[in-house]
Amino acid sequence: MDSQDTQVLAAARRWAAAGHRFTLVTVARTWGSAPRPPGAWMVLRDDGQVQGSVSGGCIEDDLIRRAAAGEFTGSAPRLLRYGVTADEAHRFGLPCGGTLELVLEPAPDVALLEQLAQRIGTGQLVHRRVALATGVVSLEGGSAGDSQQWDGQTLVTLHGPAWRLLIIGAGQISRYLASMAQALGYRVYICDPRSEYADGWDVPGTERIAAMPDDAVTELGLDPRSAVVALTHDPKLDDLALLEALKSPAFYVGALGSQANNSKRRERLLQYFDLSPAQVDRLHGPVGLPIGSRTPPEIAVSILAEMTAIKNGQNLPSTATLSDPYACKLT
């Protein structure tokens, strides 16, 4: 669940407390260049207010019109499809013949939404199951690696911090990176055995791991939805995390430092640790996209941009480098 979806859930709970009726709309499936991915959702209030998005504009306008006309009544979930024909795709602003299947819930169970919010708030992953034939909605425990399911009759969506990020080092860049990553739906962990850094860590919503970096990586049990970014500039700490992370199925492993220092790091990992050339080649270092970053927040942006591209399956140049103003600290 990304930050926009969290806002949707919060709005639904506020509106319910104020006595409003609302319809919950979830993207079940897409074809072509649909603007929003499966699992995206929105809530449409009885007076036309909207929170969230399923298309980015035109479909929302049509849903508002249909709701005002009294089309979404009752309590049973229903299926809507947009963009079946080229004319419809053009009418609703769907690019390249995109098609959306939407599941609408005209009267979602508010108690279940409250329970969902509480479970997400404690860091749990939750499956929300909607059966169109019976109208039954239920919550079940989820796990990292799960994905949305839709067979035309039952929609199972995954909610909570499905993506995880372990940051090694509690410095200034880490603070920006942690905050930004949470906005993108990551559950963020911080590990720094240096008390002078870790004792001042106060980024809300993050979790500290009181262990050495290699033990922290092992403790988390990294999976394909996990990322590790080493930012201490101390090879004694960063290398400990990397030697375990590069052997894991984590989708992204990166380390801060200049091009020269990252070359030395690769040599160390190959020479002194039980890592293969293929494993060392997985390292993103210098970490981040080359966007001319100089300040801590800019570097955090570049790191998350690269992580997002890798997560979304985009091919990036292998020679990309990041200008690092802090490289002089690493010898």
Tens digits of per-residue pLDDT, 226-254? Answer: 999 999 989 999 999 999 999 999 999 99
Mean pLDDT of all residues in 121-137: 89
pLDDT over 90 percentage in the chain: 60
- Inform me whether the pLDDT recorded for 269 exceeds 90: yes
Is 91 in a helix, a strand, or coil? helix
Mean pLDDT of all residues in 98-120: 91
Residue-averaged pLDDT of the chain = 87
pTM: 0.67
Note the pLDDT of residue 92: 64
Q: Which domains does the chain have, with CATH numbers?
A: 3-159 (no CATH), 163-329 (3.40.50.720)
Q: Which of 201, 197, 276 is nearest to 233 (CA)?
A: 197
Extract long-range pairs of 69-73: CB within 8 Å, 24+ residues apart. Answer: 72/23, 72/44, 72/104, 72/106, 73/106
- CA 264 – CA 216 distance, rounded (Å): 24
- Inform me whether the pLDDT recorded for 78 exceeds 90: yes
CB atoms within 10 A of CB 202: 8
pLDDT in tens, 145-191: 678 899 999 999 988 766 899 999 999 999 999 999 998 889 899 99
* Cα-to-chain-centroid distance, residue 306: 13
pLDDT confidence bin for 324, thresholds 50/70/90: very low
pLDDT confidence bin for 325, thresholds 50/70/90: very low
Phi and psi for 50 in degrees, rounded to 5?
-130, 140
Dihedral angle computed from the Cα positions of residues 132, 134, 139 and 142, in that order, rounded to the nearest 10 degrees: -60
